[in-house]
Amino acid sequence: MSKAKKKKEGISRLMELAGTKKKGLTAACTLSVLSSVFKIIPYFTIYGVLKEIIRCYSAGDKFAFGSVSTLVIITAVSALLYGICAYSSAMLSHGAAFDILYELRMKLMEKMGRISSGYYTANTQGSIKKLLIEDVEQIEVFIAHSMCEVASAIATPLFTIIVLFIVDWRLTLVSLLPIMLSFVILGMALKKPDGAKHQKNMADCKAKMEGTIIEYIHGMSVIKIFGGTKKAFRRYETDMNAFTKSVHDTAYYNANGMGLYYAFFGAQVLFLLPAAIIMLGSSAGYADVLPKILFFLVVCSGLKEPLENMMNVSIDSTKINVGLKRIDDLLEQPEITLIGEGKTLTQFDIGFDKVSFAYDGSGIKACDEVSLNLPQGSCNALVGPSGGGKSTIAQLLLHFYEIGSGSIKIGGVDIREVTHSELVKNIAYVFQDSFVFSDTIENNIRMGNTEASFEQVRAAAEAANIAETIEALPDGYQTIVSDSTGLSGGEKQRIAIARAILKNAPIVVLDEATAYADAENEAKIQDAFSKLSKGKTVIMIAHRLKTIQNADNILVMNGGKLAAVGKHDELMDKCELYRDMVNANDRRDSWTMRRLSYDKA
């Protein structure tokens, strides 16, 4: 049986993602290693100078600068080269990190445009945001800083130990002994049977506490209205206490092991001094032993930092693995099919042929063997009870999802043979919840056609019945849309319609766009729709049945099936479901009228 190719992780996966920037990154790491060498050399030369001073002192000679001048020059040059290498390494690694980040973000964005919309249903907005911002950012920090630190964290202790061995192998072994012991203790502490259980408990308590905080903030208005502040706060307090307890438990559990680890890790002096006393007593003489002891005391205390860095880097690399996995998960999502090179659409009639589709994991057919034919330039209304499959039809036409069986054609061309950009260029979609970006109103409308002049933007706003409202704002078309702009839902809806009018696409899809608008807004929106729809192939997902009675085709969707097709009068005759819906709508409208006149009285 052939083994599946093992997926790369950590640094090797990062190097894969680095792509063309790998060379820059390798150069940065090499320079970082070189900088570690130049950082160690001065310790060695200073040891030489020290040795010469003590030799002169014990021999009663006059100290001559000439005897150490070469060492001093080497020290100065090394310090200079250290600075140059460290600086160049940081510049290169930061440059590479931002280039890699740019490429990765573009890759993720492009990928997001090519995958099925099911991904967005399965993953919350929060988790996608976390992926695109935090996970990618973490990679930048790792590449720009930690990656070179890895190189230096390995090289520095290695070169230091080599230098220590050159100076005196016995003192080297003595100073390494406590470090070795501390690592053994750490290993034993990490392997303790309940360690993982404590860590998991701490992570679970933290996640629960964060969940409660988010729920508390989101539900604040409801909590206030129903006076549940104290109760909700008590839950938050309980979760916070549980988290604090889990942190204490974990800390106590690890206290002995970690305490011993830190005690040994920094205890070289305790081991070095007795060894030095023994060496001094056993002949070698002060002039030889003293500079060595001083050298070891200074250098060994500096060994702690790079060794700790080495451990931190290995912790960091485990952390980025979680983010890398999420990034890979997105990069590996199956893409929406494109058969061939991508055809151009020239005709705009719409045909569904026995189309069936179920959302991932739902098991229910949201679209069940649906066949329909909508002529170019016709106005078509999709009606039916909630959950009937109306929005699904619209989303399938946009190729947001891959259908299970059947085919969808525009102008006789299967949408799987059309690129995403060609498809969306020809369809204007006004969503139920129109999204307005936090940008100027002009730019929000211009998104429909980036080439449009300001006059065209204005004309679109006028056609959408929103120009007057925009011009009444202090900054007019330059107003940045935000929560404080004070635009109502209906007004935002009309900005979205202006965007669609400017796009001037031959197919228009309107999704229950007037469902929640007030009477005045609805009239304005309806008027804007008429202008947007003129001469286009229109699919309108209708909530208010009165507005679609003149449609060329009314398609009744129920339980994912196309229950009936026809004009209003035909359907009133032959389709019981449609008749019931129209009657229910009439009753609701007259109830609203009665209620309004009662309120006014």
- Give every CB contact of residue 192 below 8 A, 6+ residues apart in sequence: 253, 254, 257
Give long-range contacts, CB 8 A cutoff, 24+ apart: 191-199.
192/253, 192/254, 192/257, 194/253, 195/253, 195/254, 198/246, 198/249, 198/250, 198/253, 198/254, 199/250
Q: Which stretch binds ligand ADP (CB under 6 A): 194-202, 277-285, 295-303, 360-368?
A: 360-368
**Binding-site member from 2, 12, 282, 386 for ligand ADP (CB under 6 A):** 386
DSSP 452: -
Residue 339, interface with ligand ADP (CB under 6 A)? no
- 3-state class of 252 per DSSP? helix
Q: Which stretch binds ligand ADP (CB under 6 A): 50-58, 324-332, 335-343, 383-391?
A: 383-391
Say if residues 374 and 408 touch (Cβ distance below 8 Å). no
Cβ burial, residue 183 (10 Å; 0-12/13-18/19+): middle
**x/- string (CB under 6 A) for ligand ADP, residues 34-73?**
----------------------------------------
Q: Which stretch binds ligand ADP (CB under 6 A): 319-327, 380-388, 407-415, 448-456?
A: 380-388
Cβ at position 367, least distance to ligand ADP in Å: 8
| Cβ-based nearer residue to ligand ADP, 357 or 477 | 357
**Binding-site member from 58, 362, 405, 453 for ligand ADP (CB under 6 A):** 362
Query: How many other C-beta atoms can be found within 10 angstroms of the C-beta atom of residue 514?
Result: 22
Residue 387, interface with ligand ADP (CB under 6 A)? yes
**Binding-site member from 390, 399, 458, 536 for ligand ADP (CB under 6 A):** 390
Nearest to 268 by CA among 332, 147, 182: 182
Nearest to 464 by CA among 515, 529, 513: 529
What residue type is assigned to position 295 of the chain? F
| Cβ-based nearer residue to ligand ADP, 273 or 364 | 364
Q: Which stretch binds ligand ADP (CB under 6 A): 221-229, 306-314, 384-392, 586-594?
A: 384-392
Residues between 528 and 557 with contacts to ligand ADP, criterion CB under 6 A: 557
Cβ at position 530, least distance to ligand ADP in Å: 23
Q: From CA 156, how far away is CA 34, in angstroms rounded?
A: 10
Residues between 118 and 177 with contacts to ligand ADP, criterion CB under 6 A: 121
| Cβ-based nearer residue to ligand ADP, 121 or 550 | 121
Say if residues 494 and 524 touch (Cβ distance below 8 Å). yes
Q: From CA 95, how far away is CA 143, in angstroms rounded?
A: 10
Which region, left, alpha or beta, applies to residue 413 given φ > 0 means left and ψ of -120 to 50 means alpha?
A: beta
**Binding-site member from 384, 448, 490, 506 for ligand ADP (CB under 6 A):** 384
Cβ at position 539, least distance to ligand ADP in Å: 12
DSSP string, 343-391: PPP----EEEEEEEEE-TTT-SEEEEEEEEEE-TT-EEEEE-STTSSHH
Residues between 97 and 126 with contacts to ligand ADP, criterion CB under 6 A: 121
**Binding-site member from 155, 345, 366, 502 for ligand ADP (CB under 6 A):** 366
Residues between 201 and 260 with contacts to ligand ADP, criterion CB under 6 A: none
Cβ burial, residue 30 (10 Å; 0-12/13-18/19+): middle
Cβ at position 425, least distance to ligand ADP in Å: 24
Say if residues 426 and 508 touch (Cβ distance below 8 Å). no
Q: From CA 108, how far away is CA 356, in angstroms rounded?
A: 30
Cβ at position 262, least distance to ligand ADP in Å: 52
Cβ at position 541, least distance to ligand ADP in Å: 6
Cβ at position 158, least distance to ligand ADP in Å: 55
**Binding-site member from 157, 306, 323, 388 for ligand ADP (CB under 6 A):** 388
User: By rule CB under 6 A, what count of residues binds ligand ADP?
Assistant: 14
| Cβ-based nearer residue to ligand ADP, 123 or 376 | 123
**Binding-site member from 257, 389, 411, 490 for ligand ADP (CB under 6 A):** 389
DSSP string, 186-209: HHHHHT-TTHHHHHHHHHHHHHHH
Angle at 326 between CA 424 and CA 100, to 5 degrees: 75
Under the rule (CB under 6 A), what is the footprint of ligand ADP?
121, 359, 362, 364, 366, 384, 386-392, 557
